[in-house]
Chain A
């Protein structure tokens, strides 16, 4: 099914928020699930976590960072335009229950997928500690949204331009775990090195940690196997077994390598796109 863009907002230099008209998915989606979209006939299938939804209005919110051709193209679409295909909700929903204190950690654009999980965990009656971080102040997104669903919030920047000076993993350790503050579950979503760093810390303190993986996918419905990851020494498929896994079992090294498979092609595709635009050819 196609989906019309209802709202568009730029959250930071290269992070955008789109609200889409997608009533069927909006009604069904649960925290932790994702969609796959395609912009045009020659386009690739782009998996993106659902950042928010409104079942009554039939809307779905996606937040994404421009990294390559497809996300740049997506950021250039305007309100009123349509995505060619939108499919979802995909993946297993987050397991939400009242367990006590939950630390919800988002790095960079990873705050977007962490938000609906935080909201669901809060609604389930948990005490929520949110830790969100980015390279610098201008890249911090959704601070107010996160505040609204948290009992405590820490904002970190790598350069110290705002909030805690350091990584989210350091804030977690220094402000909470080192101080013997009890945390029952950590949910961490962001760039793979960030999730790995958080898991390294929580392993030390024996705190169960859930991560949401954004591996490369093609069909994303349990057919192609592109998204496979090693979890606890076993091959698992992120699209149907995940996207959430026990962070202490994930082979992050392998995941980092696998995310780099198409670096060369991604650059080539982006260059091709830029050249086409410069020459005034129809952008595909």
Chain B
């Protein structure tokens, strides 16, 4: 096709489930590109000599390279190309904020819309998996070096994938009974099917990565004991910790959840399938979700799927300041989530059995910008009002998990008890100990954790090989 023709192709939309239907099921919302749509979209890429999109990718995927293969119809080749730098394309294609990474850099976006890099990545990974042709890269001869990875979330999985491909003996220790970290306990099935996470973990296992689930490092073994057992380097990717609450009255009432608990019950424990699965969850009719990030969107959309009549998203700033991806907000609104902006809860009110029945809120207005650069919400005096709700999900972030830090002498942490690690190498204050992901940065995104894992893997390789 001539370039002129190619420039005329519009950005291909993603087919997805109808909002009314999907708001009541847990099946994946986007249905994915067909091979025809994928090829068409791939033709929109003009194959820049100096592709800016790659600079926008924390794991430096060869974006024009894989897209060229898609345009030729070599989908398996495209999958291999991505996997040479990204072990988790099916995950990234779904949960990366492409609009602020690769796609924002796309030159096509200047005059028209950017190439749909994320949708293409997802298509390629899904095609490879469905074709049953997931190829295992050739692993070089063993270096004899042993690597322990603590936590099997996006950071840990990336480190594992990178280091096993360099010939190291890699073991992941996971505290929960399933590998995947936030990909299995946090992100809902309708956004990231758990079968996909499992197959990405299996891919790593097939390359030789050992995964030890139900092993809490800091308890069953300390970091020092891992070194005593003969590990040459340790990566800490323990992720988000205990949920943050607002410290307002009534937060411990029955029916008030942290997003971590609400999502863990539904996603990891499959409470939405109760009683076929044993773990229960409260099916609220009028649910308030407090927060404006992606986790709040996930919780709100989960509440809708659990059968709520009304789901209110309560956020103290305005739409512009919401940290959630625009696409997630859009999906949530389509599904009937009601946004209540510039509003903050100040108190939860319960009945004599300890169940939440209503909440008192304040209206806010935006003042001067704060440290984050966003305009600070200021309460409007006398704007208190009471709202009848039966379930609350507090999604305002998480602190750090204390188990590893408190049992690893000499491991420096900051005032929030996050691990201090070098931005470029993940090196901590302890020799041979590297860290990355939410346990270093605080709550961030899957791809940033993967980017940190990528950098740490490079530094860990250098470290163990020079020992």
Residues on A facing B (Cβ under 8 Å):
1, 24-25, 28, 38, 42-45, 69-70, 84-90, 218-219, 221-226, 228-230, 235, 237, 240, 253-254, 257-258, 260-262, 265-266, 268-269, 272, 284
Min CB gap A13→B, angstroms: 23
B275 adjacent to chain A (CB < 8 Å): yes
The proximity string for B residues 330-358 relative to A, scoring 1 for CB distances below 8 Å and 0 otherwise, is 00000000000000000000000111000
CB neighbours (8 Å) of B398 from chain A are: 223
State in angstroms the CA–CA spacing of A174 and B240 once bound together: 49
Evaluate whether A24 and B220 lie within 8 angstroms (CB atoms) in the complex, with A84-B177, A221-B401 already known: yes
- A85 to B268: give the CA distance in the assembly, Å: 14
Additional A-B contact list (20), CB under 8 Å, known A44-B278, A268-B275, A284-B276: A1-B213, A43-B278, A45-B279, A218-B261, A219-B175, A221-B216, A222-B401, A222-B403, A224-B243, A224-B258, A225-B243, A225-B258, A225-B261, A229-B252, A230-B252, A235-B247, A253-B354, A254-B252, A262-B280, A265-B274
* Complexed CA–CA distance, A32 and B407 (Å): 18
Q: A224-B258, A240-B242 are in contact. Are A218 and B264 (CB under 8 A)?
A: yes
- Docked complex: B226-278 residues within 8 A CB-CB of A: 239-243, 245, 247, 251-255, 258, 260-261, 264-265, 268-270, 273-278
B268 proximity list for chain A (CB < 8 A): 218-219
Residue in A closest to B279 when the chains form the complex, CB atoms: A44
- Which of B216, B242, B254 is A260 in contact with, Cβ under 8 Å? B254
Q: Within 8 Å of chain A (Cβ to Cβ): is B214? A: yes
Interface residues on chain B, number (Cβ under 8 Å) = 48
Min distance, Cβ B32 to any Cβ of chain A, angstroms = 27
Task: Report the minimal beta-carbon distance from A75 to chain B, rounded to whole angstroms.
Answer: 15
Tell me the smallest distance from the CB of A3 to a CB of chain B, in Å. Answer: 9
Q: Which 8 A-B pairs have the closest CB atoms?
A: A257-B354, A265-B280, A87-B214, A44-B278, A224-B261, A225-B258, A225-B243, A272-B275
What is the interface of chain B, defined by CB distance below 8 A to chain A? 175-177, 185, 212-216, 219-221, 239-243, 245, 247, 251-255, 258, 260-261, 264-265, 268-270, 273-280, 282, 353-355, 398, 401-403
Contact B177 A88 (CB under 8 A): no
A151 CA to B214 CA, complexed, in Å: 39
A88 & B278 in contact (Cβ 8 Å cutoff) = no
Determine whether the beta carbon of B264 is less than 8 Å from that of A219. Answer: yes
What are 18 inter-chain pairs, A to B, with CB distance below 8 A?
A: A25-B220, A43-B278, A44-B269, A45-B177, A45-B279, A88-B220, A218-B261, A218-B264, A218-B268, A218-B279, A221-B216, A222-B242, A223-B185, A224-B264, A225-B261, A253-B354, A257-B354, A258-B254
Task: Name the B residues within 8 Å of A266 (CB-CB).
Answer: 280
Of A38, A86, A224, A269, the residue contacting B274 (CB under 8 A) is A269
- Complex-state Cα separation, A261 to B391, whole angstroms: 12
Minimum CB distance partner of A24 in chain B: B220
Alpha-carbon distance A266/B281, docked complex (angstroms): 11
From B175, B214, B354, B402, give the contact of A254 (CB < 8 A). Answer: B354
Contact A235:B252 (CB < 8 A) given known A45-B269, A221-B403: yes
B338 to chain A, nearest CB (A): 25
Q: Which residue of A lies closest to B177 (CB)?
A: A85
Cα distance A240–B241 in the bound complex, in angstroms: 11
A88 to B239, CA, bound (A): 19
Chain B hits for A262, CB < 8 A: 280
Which residue of A222, A258, A269 is within 8 Å of B402 (Cβ)?
A222
Distance between Cα atoms of A88 and B354 in the complex (Å): 31
Instruction: Name the one of B215, B274, B353 contacting A1, with C-beta atoms under 8 angstroms.
Output: B215
Cα A280 to Cα B15 with chains together (Å): 43
Query: Which residues of the partner chain B approach A284 to less than 8 Å between Cβ atoms?
Result: 276
For B252, the chain A residues whose CB sits under 8 A away are 228-230, 235, 254, 258
Residues of A within 8 A of B264 (CB): 218-219, 223-224
Q: Which residues on B sit within 8 Å (CB–CB) of A235?
A: 245, 247, 251-252
Q: Are B275 and A225 in contact (CB under 8 A)?
A: no
Closest-CB distance, A236 to chain B (whole angstroms): 10
**What is the bound-complex CA distance between A180 and B180, given in angstroms?**
57
Nearest B residue (CB) for A268:
B275
B443 to chain A, nearest CB (A): 12
Given the known A-B contacts A218-B261, A260-B254, A269-B274, are A223 and B353 also in contact in the complex, defined by CB atoms under 8 Å?
no
B254 near A219: Cβ-Cβ < 8 Å: no
Tell me whether A269 and B278 are in contact (CB under 8 A). yes
- CB-CB under 8 A from B243, the residues of chain A are 224-225
Partner of B219, one of A89, A229, A261, A269: A89
In the bound complex, residues from chain A placing their C-beta under 8 Å from that of B254 are: 257-258, 260-261
Closest to B263 in A: A224
The listed residue (B216, B242, B274, B403) touching A88 by CB distance below 8 A is B216
Q: Pick the contact of B282 from A260, A261, A269 — CB < 8 Å? A: A261
Whether B280 lies near A28 (C-beta < 8 A) is: no
Known interface pairs A28-B219, A258-B252; A269-B176 also in contact (CB < 8 Å): no
Which residues of A lie under 8 Å from residue B403 when comparing CB positions?
Answer: 221-222, 240
Minimum CB–CB distance from A31 to chain B (whole Å) comes to: 15
Q: Which residues of A contact B247 (CB under 8 A)?
A: 235
Q: Which of B177, B251, B273, B282 contacts A38 (CB 8 A)?
A: B177
Query: In whole angstroms, how far apart are the Cα atoms of A268 and B175 in the complex?
Result: 29
Beta-carbon nearest neighbor of B398 in chain A? A223
Q: A69: which B residues are within 8 A, CB to CB?
A: 278
Cα separation A265 to B168 with both chains bound (whole Å): 47
Q: Tell me whether A269 and B270 are in contact in the complex, defined as CB-CB below 8 angstroms, given that A1-B213, A221-B175 are known contacts.
A: no
Minimum CB–CB distance from A198 to chain B (whole Å) comes to 22
Q: Is B270's CB under 8 angstroms from A42's CB?
A: yes
Looking at the assembled complex, report how far the CB atom of B76 sits from the nearest CB atom of chain A, in whole angstroms. 32
Residue of B nearest to A87 (CB): B214
| A226 with B278: CB separation less than 8 A | no
Task: Write out the residue numbers on chain A whose beta carbons fall within 8 Å of the beta carbon of B278.
Answer: 42-44, 69-70, 269
Q: How far is the CA of A219 from the CA of B398 in the complex (A)?
A: 15
CB-based contact B261/A226 at 8 Å: yes
Chain B: CB-nearest residue to A37: B214
How close is B267's CB to chain A, nearest CB, in angstroms? 11
Write out the residue numbers on chain B whose beta carbons fall within 8 Å of the beta carbon of A260: 254, 353-354
